Amino acid sequence: MGALLGLVAGVGALLVFHGLTTAPSPRQARRSRLELLIERSGVRGIGVPGLVGACMGVGLVTLLLVLVVTAVPAVALVAGALGSYLPITLLKRRATQREKALRDAWPDAVDALVSAVRAGMSLPEAVGDLAVRGPEPLRRSFALFASEHRATASFAGALDALKEDLADPVADRVVASLRTAREVGGSDLGTVLRTLSEFLREDARTRGEIEARQSWSVNAARLAVAAPWVTLLLLSARQEAVQAYNSTEGLLVLAVAAGLSVVAYRLMLRIGRIPVEQRVLA
């Protein structure tokens, strides 16, 4: 038992040390997947090292709890590996919820811009006014825009700050459209904004329908993978099952089952995956 815990702790410490001391490759220097995930989720104050540390901590706690309950090291290792993925799963769920909330809020925000421009406000004033009258999910970001515009008097610079704060593909398109609308101005400004609003609303409706259908595939994949391991945990409460899985044959069965579960889960998610819209102006 002591050797097993020492091995897990040693490997984890080695991975953290390697990640912190190794110079990133040119590909990694651009953006890592974890950095993009943290950015998409909108969670601030956490970096990649913090996320990796959270994964290790949750995995170790899960390993110890399952080991105390089942007394089967192999089952505890599998549970620890699954538990270590929990923080990433939560971040992915938060990122999905945030993207949906922003996608649903943008059409109303652009409609508010159209109304403000019709009322005689300039485009910078109309955009800054969304900090008060805009949809709730966007107000904090537009308050940042208003603050940046007051400090610099630069509409383009304030739009850049807004784009970086939201870190959202739809926001990139809206910012590009606002730049164009600012340059066009005049009587075409309302037409540009109304066209943008209609496009965003139609896009949100279509993607919402696709996501509703895709959720069936995702839930089925999670249920199919989780059911055998929940059953295994229940069986591990029996002494004869503990003895069976502590044998060499039992460890081999668990290793093969864990590998097949991971491959099958990833395959099912890939089949039912909706392509993530990339940020073209990041």
pLDDT digits (tens, 9 = 90+) for 103-121: 888 888 888 888 888 888 8
- How confident is the model at residue 61, as a pLDDT? 92
Q: What percent of the chain has pLDDT over 70?
A: 82
Tokens of 142: 């537009």
106-165, pLDDT tens digit by residue? Answer: 888 888 888 888 888 888 888 888 888 888 888 888 999 989 988 888 888 888 888 888
76-92, pLDDT tens digit by residue? Answer: 887 888 888 888 888 88
Residue 170: pLDDT over 50: yes
16-57, pLDDT tens digit by residue? Answer: 444 445 444 444 335 578 887 887 787 777 888 888 888 999
At residue 137's C-alpha, the angle toward residues 150 and 215, to 5°, is 150
Sorting pLDDT into bands at 50, 70 and 90, what band is 258? confident
The tally of CA atoms less than 13 A away on the side-chain side of residue 169 is 14
Q: What percent of the chain has pLDDT over 90?
A: 2
Q: What is the pTM of this model?
A: 0.65
Please compute the mean of the pLDDT values over residues 206-211 and round it to a whole number.
79
Residue 212: pLDDT over 80: no
**Mean pLDDT over the full length of the chain:** 77
Measured distance CA(136)–CA(121) in Å, rounded: 21
